[in-house]
Chains A and B, each alone.
Chain A
């Protein structure tokens, strides 16, 4: 049961500002994932909350108390490092017991706590081993065990499964989620992997170049990205972004890609809902590959386009479509478009389309 709050936090490394005016509120037992490319400031933020990094401006509050002047040891927070950082000269048991030994508990209490945590993480048989004799996944379990053993106020994890191979990552992801549902402690989890973020988070915090981009549930950041960065960072394959102009033709709205002769048809509503002036000046249209319908025959409302590249992915194909000077990637059934160079017909699903300001990159907030 812990709340963590950041108010106007700023951090510089020399001349470089790595965190810019960051405000964030994390509620009791929430699982927050901080997501962003490397160098976006997410790890620095996490380390600042833990007390491993000082901040230059702003406040960090844990349960309403300002803590940025407290030492890491006095914040009662646990940290799981990407490198696991298990002490090689101690056994697994000693590693897990290590945080408790700082608290002057009796031997029996320490033993009980270590065995309980080991039981939860199913590492009891490993207790007498040295970390060097463990597999990557077990190292991670021990590292989490060391973090959980003293029931900290909050659990911070810095890319805890980034060093594992893909299959193990998937297993550990599920395990972390299960653990959180069982233990339910406030957790902040840093990763650059959007799949991890989407599958684990109650809320995702997306950062870029030290600036908070969007905070929201995985569903929100996926279906209502606040700006072009979020739109392209979340989701795989990446959302198509195309320069487009919106105009009225034959009583409906037409969205014409740069360099294209014809426009995709959209409900007339769109014209009224776009901010004044933006329609003619051009906007950035965002559409996920699954939002583009592809047919092999001409259909009402479909535009002829050329399929350029086909990537077969087994369950489905990703087809690159040339529309004017822009390339749109569409998701089709496996083998739907047989050869590159084919002429096909495409339509953009207006409901799944996103509109962004080309200058600021911000979402125009238009949903059809």
Chain B
């Protein structure tokens, strides 16, 4: 179809593009700030006005991964010369690596473990929430369930209260059953958080899939389970992807409960990163490096599923 456009329409269109660009810049500014700080030399991190042009370095990332302490006196030149390049970067900043007393091995900071914890907890809770949510939504969507609307409302109502309100009871309950500071504890909690969201979102998506698809499969000799896996799941892929992204982001970013319910073994990255502010003079570049790395998995996950997400957003609008 040939688009006939007047000059006013074209001008409005340009105006809209400019507005979108401005909004995008505003949204991206904090991310740029964190990303650039992660590559800045320490003294530039807090300079006023902020430095925009600088020579990027990876010292903050090296420091992020190792345990360090302040140098009391300058390091001996022969020790400095023998040190690997990354250790030199630490010496350059007036700090030294903490090595274990007997073996002299370099000790890692707490960050890699916390990062891994975040990955484990967010991934497993997302799989659980989306999986259970999809099954539940399918049931509500396809079968007559007694008190369906009441049950759905009940499921939604679990999100009607700020979660932090139940933090203290949760803490006491978790302590009583020994779930404090365990991966399972956080996984259960985040799954419960996300489940209501997942059920509602997936119900919307599954409602959109015509029943005839499954009925055709049922008539063609498949069981309902087979029809679900062969027809409904592929058709719901878009919805599953969109739901998974949202659940993953929620679990990945969760701060308050992670802070209260974990301290060492199962602690995730969000409560760990700010806890580093307090040790000595705050080194913002290291905190920024930790934050920057923490942003990446969500960004990558969302990027990989971007096509599904776009389709998910317009679902129902473009279907014939």
Q: Decide whether A and B assemble into one complex.
A: yes
Mask: chain B, 247-271; 1 = CB below 8 Å from A; 0 = not: 0000000000000000000000000
Does B226 reach chain A (CB closer than 8 Å)?
yes
* A51 x B218 contact (CB < 8 A): yes
Binary interface encoding of chain A residues 299-330 relative to chain B, with 1 for a CB under 8 A from any of its CBs, else 0: 00000000000000000000000000000000
Q: Tell me if A351 is interfacial: C-beta within 8 Å of chain B.
A: no
CA distance in complex: A76, B218 (Å): 10
Which residues of chain A have C-beta atoms less than 8 A from B212's C-beta?
A: 81, 83, 85
Given contacts A81-B212, A83-B210, A102-B226, contact A89 B234 (CB under 8 A): yes
Q: How far is the CB of A179 from chain B (nearest CB, A)?
A: 19
Known: A73-B223, A98-B220, A99-B220. A52 touches B231 (CB 8 A): no
Residues of A59-87 at the interface with B, using a CB-CB cut-off of 8 Å, are 71-73, 75-79, 81, 83, 85, 87
Interface status of B221 (Cβ within 8 A of chain A): yes
**In the complex, A236 has a CB within 8 A of chain B:** no
B residues less than 8 Å from A88 (CB atoms): 235
- Interface on chain A toward B: helix, strand, loop, or mixed SS? loop
A-B contact count (CB 8 A): 58
Q: Is the CB of A79 within 8 A of B226?
A: no
CB distance from B300 to the nearest CB of A (A): 25
Are the C-beta atoms of A85 and B219 separated by less than 8 Å?
no
A146 at the interface (CB under 8 A from B): yes
Q: Could you say which residues of chain A place their CB within 8 Å of the CB of B218? A: 51-52, 71-73
Chain A residues positioned under 8 Å from B216 (CB to CB) = 79, 81, 85, 87, 146
Q: Quote the shortest CB–CB distance from A90 to chain B (angstroms).
A: 8
Cα distance A146–B222 when bound, in Å? 14
**Does A50 count as interface, using CB distance less than 8 angstroms?**
yes
Given A83-B210, A83-B212, A102-B226; A89-B220 close (CB under 8 Å): no
Take A87-B213, A102-B226 as given contacts and tell me if A51 and B219 are in contact as well, using a CB distance cutoff of 8 Å: yes
Q: B217 at the A/B interface (Cβ < 8 Å)?
A: yes
Contact in complex: A85, B210 (CB < 8 Å): yes
Q: How far is the CA of A249 from the CA of B218 in the complex (A)?
A: 66
A73 to B217, CA, bound (A): 8
- Contact at B217–A98, with CB atoms within 8 Å? yes
- B92 at interface, CB cutoff 8 A: no
- Count chain B residues whose beta carbon lies closer than 8 angstroms to a beta carbon of A: 18
Chain B interface SS verdict (over half): helix
Q: Which residues in B have their C-beta under 8 angstroms from that of A89?
A: 234-235, 237
Chain B residue at smallest Cβ distance from A73: B221
Q: Which residues in chain B, 227-242, are within 8 Å of chain A measured between CB atoms?
A: 230-231, 234-235, 237
Q: CB distance A87 to B220 under 8 Å?
A: no
Give Cα A87–Cα B229 distance, bound, in whole angstroms: 13
- The interface residues of chain B lying within 8 Å CB-to-CB of A106 are none
Q: Roughly how many angstroms separate A51 CA and B221 CA in the complex, as a whole number?
A: 11
B57 part of interface (Cβ distance < 8 Å) = no
Interface code B58-91, partner A: CB below 8 Å = 1, 0 otherwise? 0000000000000000000000000000000000
Q: Which residues of B contact A75 (CB under 8 A)?
A: 219
Per the bound structure, the CA–CA distance linking A76 and B210 in Å amounts to 22
| A275 and B197 alpha carbons, distance in the complex (Å) | 70
Point out the residue from A81, A99, A102, A103 that lies within 8 Å of B215, measured CB to CB.
A81
List the B side residues contacting A50 at CB < 8 Å: 219
- Say whether A99 contacts B210, CB under 8 Å: no
**Residues from chain A with Cβ under 8 Å of B223 in the complex:** 71, 73
Q: In the complex, what residue of chain A is closest to B218 when comparing beta carbons? A: A72
Bound complex: CA of A79 vs CA of B226, how far in Å?
A: 18
Whole-angstrom CA separation of A88 from B231 in the bound complex: 9
Q: Verify A73–B219 contact, CB threshold 8 A.
A: yes
CA distance A77 to B215 in the complex (A): 12
A116 to B77 Cα, complex, angstroms: 84
Find out whether the CB atom of A52 lies under 8 angstroms from the CB atom of B215: yes
Residues of A within 8 A of B217 (CB): 98
Instruction: Write the chain A residue with the least CB distance to B234.
Output: A89
The interface residues of chain B lying within 8 Å CB-to-CB of A78 are 219-220
A85-B215, A87-B234 known; 10 new pairs, CB 8 Å cut-off, are A52-B215, A71-B223, A73-B222, A73-B223, A76-B221, A87-B235, A98-B217, A102-B222, A146-B216, A150-B221
Task: List 26 A–B pairs whose Cβ atoms lie within 8 Å, in order of A's numbering.
Answer: A50-B219, A51-B219, A52-B215, A52-B219, A72-B215, A73-B218, A73-B220, A73-B222, A75-B219, A77-B219, A78-B220, A79-B215, A79-B216, A81-B212, A81-B215, A85-B210, A85-B215, A85-B216, A87-B216, A87-B235, A98-B217, A98-B220, A99-B220, A103-B221, A146-B220, A150-B220
Q: Which residues of A contact B (CB under 8 A)?
A: 50-52, 71-73, 75-79, 81, 83, 85, 87-89, 98-99, 102-103, 146, 150
A-B CB proximity, top 7 nearest: A99-B220, A102-B221, A85-B212, A79-B219, A72-B218, A81-B212, A89-B234
